[in-house]
Amino acid sequence: MGDWSWEWLPSLEEVAAGLPSEVLSAVEKAAADLATVNSMVYLDGVDFQSTGPGIRTHSDPARNLLFEYLTVPRQECISITQVTWLGL
């Protein structure tokens, strides 16, 4: 199991500017959890040779939160590409 990480793609300002800190915290925690899960799914990590799963969606109905992320096994990284929050 590698040292997977997560990032905002292209940047926090582009993806989630203006969201409340509690929403950002929820996204960050979920992204860290997804990185951990994907490190167990893509055991080859940097040596992965197949096509990755593409853009996927994570939802948190309790927080009215949805975000899209890209899993990049060869970089051992989860990239958050879009966040949608419907408010409280």
Q: How many C-beta neighbours within 10 Å does residue 8 have? A: 18
Residue 84: helix, strand or coil by DSSP? strand
What pLDDT sits at residue 87? 86
Question: What pTM did the predictor assign?
Answer: 0.90
pLDDT of residue 2: 59
Q: Provide, rounded to the nearest whole percent, the portion of the chain with pLDDT above 90.
A: 84
H/E run at residue 16:
helix 12-16
CATH code, 5-85? 3.30.2310
Q: Is the bond into 20 cis (omega within 30 degrees of 0)? A: no
Predicted confidence (pLDDT) at residue 1 exceeds the cutoff of 60? no
Task: Give yes or no for residue 4 having a pLDDT over 70.
Answer: yes
